[in-house]
Structure 1
Amino acid sequence: MAHPDRPEGRPLVLVGYAVAFAGAAVLFGFDRTLGVVAGALNVVFGIYFCRHLAFAVAAARWAERDLVAADVGLDSYTPTVAVLVGCKDEELVVDGMVAALLALDYPADRLTLVVVDDGSADATGAKLDAWAVRDPRLRVLHRPPGAGGGKSGALNEALALVESEIVLVFDADHEPEPSALRRLVRHFRDPVVAAVMGRCVIRNGQDSSMASTVFVDYLSGYLVNEYGRQALFELPAYGGANCAVRASTLRALGGWNPETVTEDTDLTLRILLMGQWVRYDVSAIDFEEAVVSAQRFWKQRYRWARGHQKCLRDYWRPLMRSPHLSLLEKVETTLFLGVYHVPVLSGLGLLLTVLRALGVGDLPVIGLLPLSMLLFIGPLAELCVGLLVGRVERRSAWRLLGFLPAFALSIWITSRAYLDGMLGRPYSWVKTTRSGATSTVLAPAVPAPAPAATEPAARPPSFALPGEDR
């Protein structure tokens, strides 16, 4: 692990930023200094714009083909697999999750199912015990309240109970398709592959406007962003759920890191630094529940931002020194780690735009236009391609308007997380509150076998929000 005992705070860095800006303003003038800052932001946003656009083009060009030709090697490779799930106060969703795990299409003698009741105060433990009595394939581990370590602690205790070659992790609200396990494990034929991530689809997109926004966000994130990172760089991330990892690699790394609140990003970096790789399978689908309110969105994304930002602070030096990554791979991984810093810079860019509108700043208005244009066009391209590849009902395009308030909220969330992290304010892992939604999006059909070269390509699976016509 990189610096597990290093304090998170970097308050002197914030002081350094302030001193540098004040010194430049004194030496070169306030307006000119603001102009230089704006120019630097334009460069950063320009780089991320090109990255977003490249991912969107890659997904538009190849994602449909990969969705169609997705059934290769599903039956010929069956290593031993342990499925691990951590549950804390999950009584609203645990039944659907366990039923989906028991329906996984995999040889029973090659599969172990371990669900951890992580000190739940509700009926989660009792429900899991009832399932275990009815089906001996399920093992239940009970942790006492306050056992510590969050999700990482629960998974590490479960890992100690199993001896399988591959470990597959789901969250408590996830319901995988029966073929998801086979689709994930087939990639481990390659000895350099240490982890594989599948695709998550929101199942309750109609429950609220926030859930609808997250539904479209996941189409962009999984059908475009992660697909693009795989297609262009072969550098997708281990996503923490609907993800498989080689047990020998995981044990060599000491398990999941309990010192982070984003154990998935942390594990991704440690895998890359040891010279192994993560792969992404767009056809390995499971369904999860989206947050349904702005308050839950805040708590979830704050945790993601806080953990992701800490990973950049902890790992950028080892990353730059790694002998296993090329210069281009180091640049892309750094850009990936910087994703939860970009909204912070976006807030600064919007502030500069407001100041210029008030007559403060050395650049004309046209010089600041890229600050606003590049903030939105790149992510919008990914969102649009996600809707296209996902074949979402055409009226759902209006849901892109929901990203305007969501983007503004993200600027505030990530900025607050950045300041809290740099100031070293205490924070520990917090679970996402569930609503127990049972409705689902239209489930994708199992992809058809790849067509012959003389046949036209089949259309990929389609998704629609419930109650809408495609």
Structure 2
Amino acid sequence: MANILFYSALSLIWLMLLYHMFLMQGGYRHFKTYERVITKWERKMDHLPTVSVFIPAHNEEMVISQTLKAMACLHYPKDKLDIIVINDNSSDQTGEIAQGFAEKHPFIRVIETSPPNRGIGKSSALNEALAQSDGEIIVVYDADNTPERMAVWHLVMGLLNDPLAGAMVGKFRVSNAERTWLTRFINIETICFQWMAQAGRWNWFKVATIPGTNFAIHRHIMEQLGGWDVKALAEDTELTVRVYDLGYYIRFFPAAITWEQEPETLGVWWKQRTRWARGNQYVVIKFLTQFFKLKRKRIIFDLFYFFFTYFLFFFGVIISNMLFVVNLFYDLHLQIGNVALILWGLAFLLFVAEVAIALSIERTEMTRKNFLYILLMYFTYSQMWILLVMYSLFLEIKRVLLGQEVTWYKTERFSEKKVEGN
């Protein structure tokens, strides 16, 4: 029995590694080709739509100034731009700082959340802005983001030129990547996610996932969907499924770039990633139980990908590790053999190769120091994720069984002086 479990777990791990290798190839193809459409798309940028930029902000005094400086420099007609800071029950100087920018720039304004949307999470804040705006296109940025000057322009460009795209997703980079060992790992993770997962899935399957920031979506789609799901901790993933179910797809267009601050301490990272994992687990369970009600079956493929990632793959890793460790102290008659050991070694080498190739796409990232971090990442950061997913699943099961309310965790920010900008 132990041998069957061990080899089944090893098969799950290899299946995921090979799939990511396939995605990496697609991501590289997208990297080589995505800019070809820009010259053609530029010709259709004569009659620009109005754009509402939503920036949910709860106690963001450390970062909101830098964010609004970037917003003030966006390349887009200011008479068609409505930048909305959603001051969501802040107890610090967020509102005052944002209001100072609003007094200088007529296209920036501050709104306050009100019951029932006040102080209960990002989705509620976004729904408040949806009700108090009228832009034809909605763009969302987190309060720690500094989008590059052309970011909104490129997001809008994509929507105007691709009628099948319900939403357009840009690329995000880590602004404080050099701060700590943790931010270096996150930077590598971020690049891999975009080029190996987002770009690869878009290239092969015309599937991409809306992130929490740097994306644009048509207002009529958000109104048709009834806004954001206030029960979803991963409101972006949940929204993705509903957009696909309407018959649209979501396009990954990395010409639109934003820079964002990432957690610099393990405690902040753990809380943020736990929210992400629980949110994605919620989405998988919610929509897989509605399998036969979904009209567009393409998104089912992506739901199974998330199911595999947050359930089967991590259980495979956990089971194989546990069996190996237990076998060191108690003879389980585990017939690991040379083949299994070779497969383990090859899995590590494949992981290193995939991540290194993904980093090489970003000109400044494939350095000796980052290569050393890749080697360490497999044995440290990746293992931390395994523990985190186990913990997240425990919390999510507990919430469902006890009927607990969803509690939103707002990621702690760090002083702007610590952030090395773009």
- How high is the TM-score relative to the length of structure 2? 0.89
Find out whether 1:436 has 2:415 as its counterpart: yes
The correspondence for 2:325, drawn from 337, 354, 365, is 354
Find out whether 1:389 has 2:361 as its counterpart: yes
User: 1:417 maps to what in 2?
Assistant: 392
Q: How many residues align?
A: 409
Structure 1 stretch displaced more, 217-226 or 112-121: 217-226
The correspondence for 2:3, drawn from 13, 35, 55, is 35
Tell me if the contact between 1:349 and 1:371 (Cα under 8 Å) persists in the aligned partners.
Answer: no
1:253 and 1:69 mapped to 2: Cα distance?
30
2:143 and 2:372 mapped to 1: Cα distance?
31
Tell me if the contact between 1:202 and 1:441 (Cα under 8 Å) persists in the aligned partners.
Answer: no
Deviation per CA, 1:388-432: give whole Å up to 9, x if none: 111225222112134131112111111000111112264411011
User: 2:20 maps to what in 1?
Assistant: 52
Q: Tell me the amino acid that sits aligned with residue 397 of structure 1.
A: F
1:136 and 1:292 mapped to 2: Cα distance?
35
The correspondence for 1:133, drawn from 103, 113, 123, is 103
User: 2:226 maps to what in 1?
Assistant: 254
The correspondence for 1:179, drawn from 147, 150, 157, is 150
Tell me if the contact between 2:140 and 2:213 (Cα under 8 Å) persists in the aligned partners.
Answer: yes
Tell me if the contact between 2:113 and 2:119 (Cα under 8 Å) persists in the aligned partners.
Answer: no
User: 2:56 maps to what in 1?
Assistant: 86
Give the C-alpha shift of residue 363 in structure 1.
3.4
Deviation per CA, 1:154-201: give whole Å up to 9, x if none: 010001011122100000000001111111112223333111110000
1:286 and 1:140 mapped to 2: Cα distance?
21
Change (3 A) 1:250 1:69: closer
2:8 and 2:293 mapped to 1: Cα distance?
25
More helix by share: 2
Unaligned stretches of 5+ residues in structure 1: 1-31, 444-470
Structure 1 stretch displaced more, 173-182 or 362-371: 362-371
User: 2:380 maps to what in 1?
Assistant: 405
Change (3 A) 1:195 1:177: same
1:188 and 1:80 mapped to 2: Cα distance?
13
User: 1:110 maps to what in 2?
Assistant: 80
Tell me if the contact between 1:357 and 1:365 (Cα under 8 Å) persists in the aligned partners.
Answer: no
Tell me if the contact between 2:123 and 2:229 (Cα under 8 Å) persists in the aligned partners.
Answer: yes
Change (3 A) 1:127 1:361: farther
Unaligned stretches of 5+ residues in structure 2: none
Deviation per CA, 1:246-302: give whole Å up to 9, x if none: 111111111011001110011011112222211111111010011111111101111
Give the C-alpha shift of residue 441 in structure 1.
6.2
User: 1:307 maps to what in 2?
Assistant: 279
Change (3 A) 1:243 1:74: same
1:71 and 1:340 mapped to 2: Cα distance?
40
Q: Tell me the amino acid that sits aligned with residue 150 of structure 1.
A: G
Q: Percent identity?
A: 25
Give the C-alpha shift of residue 64 in structure 1.
3.5
1:224-263 correspondence runs (5 A): 224-263=196-235
Q: Tell me the amino acid that sits aligned with residue 20 of structure 2.
A: H
Give the C-alpha shift of residue 442 in structure 1.
7.8
Q: RMSD of the alignment, in Å?
A: 2.4
1:177 and 1:72 mapped to 2: Cα distance?
21
User: 2:163 maps to what in 1?
Assistant: 191
- How high is the TM-score relative to the length of structure 1? 0.81
1:135-150 correspondence runs (5 A): 135-143=105-113, 147-150=118-121
